[in-house]
Structure 1
Amino acid sequence: MSAAVSPSWMLLEPFVFRKDDDESFPDEGEAPIRATGTTSWGAQFRIAFSLAKPPQISRLYAQLPVPGFLDRNVGTPLSIVATHRHLALVRVATRTSEMVTVQNFFIFTADEGPSSSLKALPLCTEPEFDYTRHSVRVPRRRRLPDGTPRLLNVRNLGFWCRGKQFVVVELTLFKPINHDKVFADICLLHSDRDQLGATWKSMRVEFLSTDDPDDADLFQISWWCTEAVIPFDKWLCWIDYHRGILFCDMSKLPNPPTVSFIWFPLDRLPISGNRTGTSTMCYRSVSVVDRGRALKFVNITRHDGIPFEALKPGTGFTITCHTLVLGRGSMAWKEDYTVTSGELWEANTPERLPRCILMFPRVDIDRPHVVHFLYIEFGYYACKKMWVVSIDMSTKTVESFSLYINGHEGLETDDADLIDLIERKSVSPWPFLPCEFPKFLNLSRKRKHME
């Protein structure tokens, strides 16, 4: 793909398409961004990204030959954890004969060109935090056997970079018994991309006070659930779509970061440990726009109160969007717009926008007034069709309505990964991952052209 037609960003399918033999692995014309790596157990692998301009969906392909990797039916051998600017964090895992999981993390650098080597991060051997003592001053005591890597929780991992510096952070909340404060237990790696010899460090950081009486609910940390981690400006943000956002300030590294919290706007959802019947991730999203300088929050409120099914006849929904306004030491939400389903249906024909629920909103990075949604045709789980719907929220008009998964017809194929994708998406859809590194690949090509 030439730089002239290469997109500046992409919506990446989080599902990895595994192509273990050379014949099925896509060529450079289909997937031009490529990289190779070698694991700590000596297995070689390679990955490749296809490039598609949103609202089309891009894909990540992986070649994980056996016996270096487990069979495709066992676990998740490779996943893309996060991206930020020109970098991507990739996790590779296997299991030993004793059924112990071993994981490696790699950094992919887009501005090195379309073909590069994945750089392995040092293994984390930091002691795990000891929650049996419930101590504020002693953050860790559970020592691992010498040389035993610590298994990091991918759901709690964040990835942030600025220039050549990058940080990988695992964050977990902790509240000591009979204590009125909440702490963030942090394990992080802070390194230059060309100097991966840095070591992991652990620390316990107290929350900054927000003077909000409702923050007492945060003390019930067993109810917190990290549903997304995104980089924004100088922060890494841990998001619970029932509550709000934890902001971890990366700008003061190598000193310990500071951690603060802000609630989402609108009516607050019930805070409890039981989330049965809720699908908040389906209807809420936080997107970074304006070259990383603005944060958008989109919320879809169903009028029928159903968590995850077709829209009940005669009902609708409301979409609201807010922007996080940053002041001197302060943060506040500003409402951008409120749009009802009735307004959208009135402005668009049923062929352009079916009378259905929209889900998984993603704000367009280059055009923040446009939001990309997923429309699911509910039915027998293996026969669902899905479309990507792009709507200009300022004019309430549909820009595009394109088929993403063709349901039953898509099952008529020998492609095991495509069948797996259809079945997984039908049972448990997952939001697309915004990714900006095609922009830096373009810049790299331009620099080479100028030379």
Structure 2
Amino acid sequence: MDSDDAAGSRPKKLARYDHPNWAMLDCYLRPLRDGDTTTALAYASTGSGGKIGVGLVAAAPPRTSYLLYQWIPDEGRRCGGSSHKPTMIHRSWDAKAVAAHGNSILLHFLFPMNNGTFPGKSEEFFVYQALPRRTRRLTKLPTCRQNHTFMNRDTKMNTGILRRESGEFVVAHLTVLPGGRGDHRVTAELCCFFGNKGSWRRTECVPIICCDEAEQKHLGWWKTDVVLSFGDFICWVDYFRGILLCDVFSHHPVVKYVPLPVTPYHGNCNPHLRIRGAPATYRSVSVTNRGGGIKFVDIAPGDAWFCGGHGVARLPSHISSWTLTEEQLWVEDGVVSIKEVFGRAGLPSSPLECPLVDMIDPDTIYFVLGDDVQDDEQEEQELRDPYSQSCLIAVHMKSRTVDMISCDIRSFGSSDMYRNTTSCNLYFHEPFISLNLDVSH
């Protein structure tokens, strides 16, 4: 859209049913409704007994795409029964997509189980592959017994997936380990599952290459916020400081640290609030140009704390974006006034949240329209209303225009609240996952 034509015009809305070449995926899975025969599911056996089925409902951005599941537990093993009926997993965060590469999605489930003495949960990972016009695939991964029985203990997205054009894939989990007392050097522990081998490989004391001792010290506070894949690298991102890149297919893996173009935070949580918050509300690292580039977007004001709300900071005023060069240096390629963008679109100015760069067009960035600053009574009313609506928009950085707009409903995952336009990501302030549907392997 040319800037002259767009000035003063209202943004266009998208049709609901498209055949997108990429998708903004809601990371929380939704239970398949009774009588739903329109969504094809791929099934796999679970380690705790029974079966799990998963299917994708895709829509063109800024509409939200989502995954449906059907869990059919082995009631004989789970609680002494004998029937095999579809059952809902009670907590939203127990059925979740944690990463994606190409058209492959890494899924994390916590299935309820009864070991005969105490009720517990079985943690299991699956890889779902969405092949266009072909059969969907769902593959269960064996448990990584070499190091831990619960891989994703801190609930952060520290596990990623990388798939090559040949169809070979690897799932990798990275832990940053600080040095001893007085030693600022850090190393990494890497656990990788190779799909063609069907087994895990654990590598200890993986070196992390940094420029200086100051970077090493900051890595001692590392917390992974998101994991994505770029080329032959899996990238672990801490929005307070930088990116860890690792060629997970290498026989002798090394981790390279690339700092983000921001001042790294001294620590990993707010010393007064005692929380880390949700930095994805203000920052994002995205793979764009059909997988050929990495872009960083920052809308955080200088005094922001990343707690998913605006009561403790000024509202974001500008959108800033950087592109990572082949020399692994950040080049700033755009600074846009949020007030100007809304003014040109003829829309009232609103806070922006949860940036995500278009997977095809690196100059288009999607945002959630946040709520205006509210008093305590308004915030309490919103908490009681699980159906509060939020809009997603696409901002074109070069023309400084709002290209598209759609509206979704914030939902925390109750089964009777799932609709085509609900989004758990919006409710929990979690980033959307970019999914490339324009691949055939």
Is 1:83 matched up with 2:81?
no
Q: Which residue of the other structure, out of 163, 167, 172, is the alignment partner of 1:161?
A: 163
Distance change >3 Å, CA 304–CA 183, structure 1 → 2: closer
Counterpart CA distance in 2 for 1:433 and 1:48 is 16
Which deviates more, 198-207 or 359-368?
198-207
Counterpart CA distance in 2 for 1:106 and 1:40 is 11
Distance change >3 Å, CA 356–CA 100, structure 1 → 2: same
Give the equivalent residue in structure 2 for 1:93.
Answer: 110
Give the equivalent residue in structure 2 for 1:317.
Answer: 317
Structure 2 residue identity aligned to 1:57: T
Give the equivalent residue in structure 1 for 2:190.
Answer: 186
Q: Contact conserved, 1:106 with 1:121, CA < 8 A, in 2?
A: yes
Give the equivalent residue in structure 2 for 1:291.
Answer: 290
Counterpart CA distance in 1 for 2:171 and 2:318 is 37
Give the equivalent residue in structure 1 for 2:428.
Answer: 428
Give the equivalent residue in structure 2 for 1:7.
Answer: 20
Structure 2 residue identity aligned to 1:239: V
Give the equivalent residue in structure 2 for 1:125.
Answer: 145
Q: Map residues 192-203 of structure 1 onto 2, 5 A cutoff.
A: 192=196, 198-203=198-203
Give the equivalent residue in structure 1 for 2:253.
Answer: 257
Give the equivalent residue in structure 1 for 2:369.
Answer: 375
Counterpart CA distance in 2 for 1:55 and 1:400 is 7
Give the equivalent residue in structure 2 for 1:415.
Answer: 416
Counterpart CA distance in 2 for 1:349 and 1:303 is 27
Identical amino acids, percent of aligned pairs: 24
Q: Contact conserved, 2:241 with 2:264, CA < 8 A, in 1?
A: yes
Residue aligned with 1:248, SS? strand
Is 1:405 matched up with 2:399?
no
Q: Contact conserved, 1:381 with 1:426, CA < 8 A, in 2?
A: no
Give the equivalent residue in structure 2 for 1:173.
Answer: 176
Give the equivalent residue in structure 2 for 1:40.
Answer: 47
Q: Which residue of the other structure, out of 231, 236, 239, is the alignment partner of 2:237?
A: 239
Q: Map residues 434-445 of structure 1 onto 2, 5 A cutoff.
A: 434-436=434-436, 438-440=437-439, 443=440
Counterpart CA distance in 2 for 1:105 and 1:227 is 19
Structure 2 residue identity aligned to 1:370: T
Distance change >3 Å, CA 344–CA 270, structure 1 → 2: farther
TM-score by length of 1: 0.78
Counterpart CA distance in 2 for 1:55 and 1:286 is 17
Q: Contact conserved, 1:376 with 1:385, CA < 8 A, in 2?
A: no
Distance change >3 Å, CA 246–CA 316, structure 1 → 2: closer
Is 1:362 matched up with 2:356?
yes
Residue aligned with 2:198, SS? coil
| Pairs aligned (count) | 393
Give the equivalent residue in structure 2 for 1:227.
Answer: 225
Cα deviation for residue 57 of structure 1 reads 1.1
Q: Contact conserved, 2:294 with 2:323, CA < 8 A, in 1?
A: yes
Give the equivalent residue in structure 2 for 1:145.
Answer: none
Residue aligned with 1:126, SS? coil
Q: Contact conserved, 1:377 with 1:385, CA < 8 A, in 2?
A: no
Structure 2 residue identity aligned to 1:415: D
Counterpart CA distance in 1 for 2:310 and 2:216 is 36
Q: Where does structure 1 lack aligned partners over 5 or more consecutive residues? A: 129-149, 445-451
Q: Contact conserved, 1:303 with 1:317, CA < 8 A, in 2?
A: no
Structure 1 residue identity aligned to 2:331: K
Cα deviation for residue 208 of structure 1 reads 3.9
Structure 1 residue identity aligned to 2:224: T
Give the equivalent residue in structure 2 for 1:104.
Answer: 124
Cα-Cα RMSD: 3.2
Q: Contact conserved, 1:107 with 1:121, CA < 8 A, in 2?
A: yes
Cα deviation for residue 199 of structure 1 reads 1.9
Distance change >3 Å, CA 113–CA 38, structure 1 → 2: farther
Distance change >3 Å, CA 243–CA 20, structure 1 → 2: same
Distance change >3 Å, CA 45–CA 20, structure 1 → 2: farther
Residue aligned with 1:217, SS? helix
Cα deviation for residue 114 of structure 1 reads 3.9
Give the equivalent residue in structure 2 for 1:301.
Answer: 300
Cα deviation for residue 278 of structure 1 reads 4.8
Which deviates more, 41-50 or 231-240?
41-50
Give the equivalent residue in structure 1 for 2:345.
Answer: 348
Cα deviation for residue 240 of structure 1 reads 0.7
Counterpart CA distance in 1 for 2:120 and 2:209 is 40
Cα deviation for residue 211 of structure 1 reads 2.3
TM-score by length of 2: 0.80
Q: Contact conserved, 2:283 with 2:355, CA < 8 A, in 1?
A: yes
Give the equivalent residue in structure 2 for 1:133.
Answer: none
Q: Where does structure 2 lack aligned partners over 5 or more consecutive residues? A: 1-16, 79-85, 373-378
Structure 1 residue identity aligned to 2:290: R
Q: Contact conserved, 1:15 with 1:421, CA < 8 A, in 2?
A: no
Give the equivalent residue in structure 1 for 2:398.
Answer: 394
Q: Contact conserved, 1:361 with 1:372, CA < 8 A, in 2?
A: yes
Which deviates more, 362-371 or 101-110?
101-110
Residue aligned with 2:343, SS? helix
Relative contact order (alpha carbons < 8 A, sep ≥ 6): 1 or 2 greater? 2
Q: Contact conserved, 1:11 with 1:434, CA < 8 A, in 2?
A: yes
Distance change >3 Å, CA 50–CA 426, structure 1 → 2: closer
Which deviates more, 312-321 or 169-178?
312-321
Distance change >3 Å, CA 5–CA 43, structure 1 → 2: same
Q: Contact conserved, 1:205 with 1:258, CA < 8 A, in 2?
A: no
